[in-house]
Structure 1
Amino acid sequence: MPETIEIPPRTGTAFRLQKGQRLRVIDPQGVQVSDLLAFNAHDTREVISNGRTLDYASRLYLTTGDPLYSNRSNIMLSIVEDTCGRHDFLLTPCSKDTFRIIYGHTDPHQGCFGNLAKALEPHGIQPDQIPCAFNCFMNVPIDVKTGMFTVEPPLSKPGDYIDFTAEMDLIIAMTACSAGLSNGGTFKPIQYQISDQ
């Protein structure tokens, strides 16, 4: 049984994931988002790309069987199991500016962007290298007539998870998201497991 590691609310972490390993992202309490990034461990200029992935998938909501591509059109991760079925790959990690512009906070939290930047710093990855994240469990419905979208509470229930297989050696960064709007108004932990399949 792989070790379960917990990311406390409103924090982030980064770690190595080797090709062929499986990463399980778990929402232990339900209704909590986790921003996930992937970088090529041998060349961090290669990074997960929502544009490439959505272009090749021809749809917005990704789930079991879908690959996540890099900016160089290489598959970085494959979704191999998904008990929730609703995730977002459009919106950027929340940041101080998110809280200032959207929430009107005068002393904003550093958000997922700040947490990701802090976690990635030891790996030599700078803030300007942070792309749009794959937002596990985030629920962003889109009105097909107007193109307008809203951020709604996640559909994830306690214990829901999404499993990825690494298709190359990776540096992964993850958060327990800091934006109340994304998490149904509360902040909860995220858990993950790494296994050799």
Structure 2
Amino acid sequence: MKREKSEFPEPQDAQARRKIRPVICYPTDSLEPPDLESYRAARAGWRKVDEVIVPPRDARCFHVPAGSFFRIVSVEGPQVGDLNLWAADDIDERFFSGKTRALHGTHLSTGDRLWSSLPYLRPMATITQDTLDWYGFDEWGGSVHDVIGTRCDPYTHRLLSGHDYHYCCHSNLTRALAHRLGRPLAAVEPAVHDVLNVFMCTGFTRDTGQYFMKASPVRPGDFLEFFAEIDLLGGLSACPGGDCSTEHSSDLATCHPLLVEIFRPQAPPKGWRSPPRNAYAGGHGEAPPATAAADPSS
């Protein structure tokens, strides 16, 4: 929490320093924007090929081939979900919420992309439709679908409450991934990562800068739709906080299931190609090893 009063006096030019204009850290003008018109046109004649029900206070994994679409749908009542994404053939490549936030902002909507971790750094999925895009930012600075929170987890819960709770989103995603891959919980837990908080309404308080949540505006029938840029393994947890209007990491909130629907288009979007992994060569400033000098006597 911020101190009510600073330990140090303001310098004489304090107001001038505060009025310096901000600079966007990562201007995205050089990024080629997604061709949403082509993506949307590819929906024509698409076919639903799979669906997965995610039970309350639990998680499920699902596969989405590159060039396909998937939707996360509210089906019974207001419910938020924590989304993890991995490259289907290599779970070391995973969704990078921090870089996605740096590129697109604190909350995502139509046209934003979910980027993968270093050293891969490429688009994993593009948001192609968002039925909650009407919400915008409210008077508290809250908005929907954030990449500022992490995921509720049993370690933080233990730290703050002194008690164990086993159905936080981190634990739910760990169980789901272990079951999907047939591996022990401890082996897959490091691959569970910071999430896209689907349908969650969040922001930062203006006085203390603390992360807050409030009742999600999501209602049955609302959905967030994605286009899979690469072959994806997804994991979705139906958060124990329900609509996150009161608390999470407990059994007190009313919770509902979530639906994942996967659609295969008749043809990929016009001109679309699955993005390759990032082209950086990986030298990190280290000089290449010197080659042995040729022996003049040879």
TM-score, scaled relative to structure 2: 0.61
C-alpha contact 1:33 1:183 (8 A) present in aligned 2: no
Matched, 1:100 2:158: yes
Question: In the alignment, which residue of structure 2 is the partner of 1:157?
Answer: 219
195, 198, 221: which one aligns with 1:133: 195
Task: Report deviation, 1:105.
Answer: 6.4
* Greater relative contact order (Cα < 8 A, sep 6+): 1
1:189 Cα deviation after fit: 0.8
Q: Equivalent residue for 2:132?
A: 84
Look up the equivalent residue of 1:131 and give its one-letter code. H
CA contact (8 A) 2:81 2:238 kept: yes
Larger radius of gyration: 2
Q: Aligned equivalents of 2:218 and 2:145: distance in 1?
A: 9
CA RMSD of aligned residues (A): 2.0
**Of the candidates 206, 210, 218, which is equivalent to residue 148 of structure 1?**
210
2: distance between equivalents of 1:151 and 1:110? 19
State the identity %. Answer: 30
Deviation per residue, 1:120-155 (Å, 9 max, x gap) = 113256101111011100111223564222111111
Distance 2:222 2:60 in 1: 20
Residue matched to 2:262: 194
- SS of the aligned residue for 2:62 comes to strand
Does the CA contact (< 8 Å) of 1:34 and 1:174 recur in 2?
yes
Q: Report SS of the residue matched to 2:190.
A: helix
Structure 2 gaps of 5+ residues are 1-46, 134-143, 247-252, 266-298
Aligned to 1:39: 86
Other-structure match for 1:116:
173
**Kept in 1: contact 2:201–2:213 (CA 8 A):** yes
Aligned partner letter, 1:39? W
SS in 1 for 2:91: coil
**1:180 CA displacement:** 5.1
Which whole-Å CA distance do the structure 1 matches of 2:84 and 2:94 have between them?
8
Flag structure 1 segments of 5+ consecutive residues without an equivalent. none
Q: 1:168: Cα distance to partner?
A: 0.2
Q: Could you tell me how far apart the structure 1 residues matched to 2:262 and 2:243 are?
A: 29
Aligned length: 195
What is the TM-score normalised by the length of structure 1?
0.89
Q: Deviation at 1:114?
A: 1.1
**Aligned partner of residue 55 in structure 1, secondary structure:** helix
Query: How big is each residue's C-alpha offset from its partner over 1:66-120, in whole Å with a ceiling of 9 and x where there is no partner?
Result: 1110013200010000002311212222122243345x36342331111111111
Distance of aligned partners of 1:106 and 1:10 in 2 relative to their CA distance in 1, 3 Å threshold: same
Deviation at 1:157, TM superposition (A): 1.7
Does the CA-based 8 Å contact 2:83-2:197 persist in structure 1? yes
Q: How does 1:21-36 map to 2 (within 5 A)?
A: 21-36=68-83
